[in-house]
A and B are shown apart, each in its own frame.
Chain A
Amino acid sequence: GAGVSQSPSNKVTEKGKDVELRCDPISGHTALYWYRQSLGQGLEFLIYFQGNSAPDKSGLPSDRFSAERTGGSVSTLTIQRTQQEDSAVYLCASSSQGGSTEAFFGQGTRLTVV
């Protein structure tokens, strides 16, 4: 498929465990975004990558959150010592040129911390 792929689609984890969420962007897209969407809420910006570097990580809620991108392609969002308030849908998007072009979203990963 040619779209943005996220895995897993659903993740249930125990409080205090670490989780990794994966995003495979559209091939050739240099920009990659992570957003968090709590139930019935808007899209909260987390971090933005241009290539492998992150010009803006201002949205990461705490130092328990980190993200990396390798080879200008796949990105991983890691949440350490998960808390119940981390429960949300995590959405990844990619675009060919950053903020000026259409961002294509994946289906998201629904994270539930119990």
Chain B
Amino acid sequence: GENVEQHPSTLSVQEGDSAVIKCTYSDSASNYFPWYKQELGKGPQLIIDIRSNVGEKKDQRIAVTLNKTAKHFSLHITETQPEDSAVYFCAASLYSSASKIIFGSGTRLSIRP
């Protein structure tokens, strides 16, 4: 089955700097890669996603890149702000109507003022 590994487990960056979180997946059949943000005491919430027919996607300060050959995908947050502090999860699934979503172990991002 699918296995998703995520690094680093914790990340601390200065406000205004960039943050990068990296994930790898094992199942070459996976073709949908969402990223979720979880704030304290809340359920995870989708922030951006990418499908395997696209190499990069950007939404304001957030971008995701995908390397299908290497089975790597990454989240990039630029100009970090205090409200970016949270736990971030990558995930992988099959783009079909019957597929589970497998999550990475999470990255706790802290933004230093």
Least CB distance, A87 to chain B, in whole angstroms: 17
- Which of B11-19, B56-64, B77-85, B100-108 is the contact stretch? B100-108
Contact residues in A for B1 (Cβ distance below 8 Å): 58
Give a binary string over A28-45; 1 marks a CB under 8 Å from any B CB, 0 the rest: 001101010000011101
B34 touching A105 by the CB < 8 A rule?
no
Chain A residues in 8 Å Cβ range of B101: 33, 45, 93, 99, 103
* Residues A99 and B103 in contact, CB atoms below 8 Å apart: no
**How long is the Cα–Cα vector from A50 to B96 in the complex, in angstroms?**
11
Tell me which residues across on chain A come within 8 A of B32, comparing CB atoms. Answer: 99-100
Q: Is the interface of B mostly helix, strand, loop or mixed?
A: loop
Residue tally, chain B, CB below 8 Å to A: 27
Interface residues on A, range: 20 to 34
- Within the complex, what minimum Cβ distance (angstroms) separates A48 from chain B? 4
A93–B43 CB distance below 8 A: yes
Is the CB–CB distance between B42 and A107 below 8 Å?
yes
Q: With an 8 A cutoff between CB atoms, is B74 at the interface?
A: no
| Given A43-B44, A105-B44, 4 extra CB contacts under 8 A | A43-B89, A93-B44, A93-B101, A99-B32
Give me the interface of B with A, judged by CB distance under 8 Å.
Answer: 1, 6, 32, 34, 36, 41-46, 49, 89, 93-106
**27 residue pairs bridging A and B, Cβ less than 8 Å apart:** A35-B103, A41-B106, A42-B106, A43-B103, A43-B106, A45-B100, A45-B101, A48-B100, A50-B97, A56-B100, A91-B43, A93-B44, A93-B101, A98-B98, A99-B95, A99-B98, A99-B100, A99-B101, A100-B32, A100-B94, A100-B95, A103-B34, A105-B44, A105-B45, A107-B42, A107-B43, A108-B43
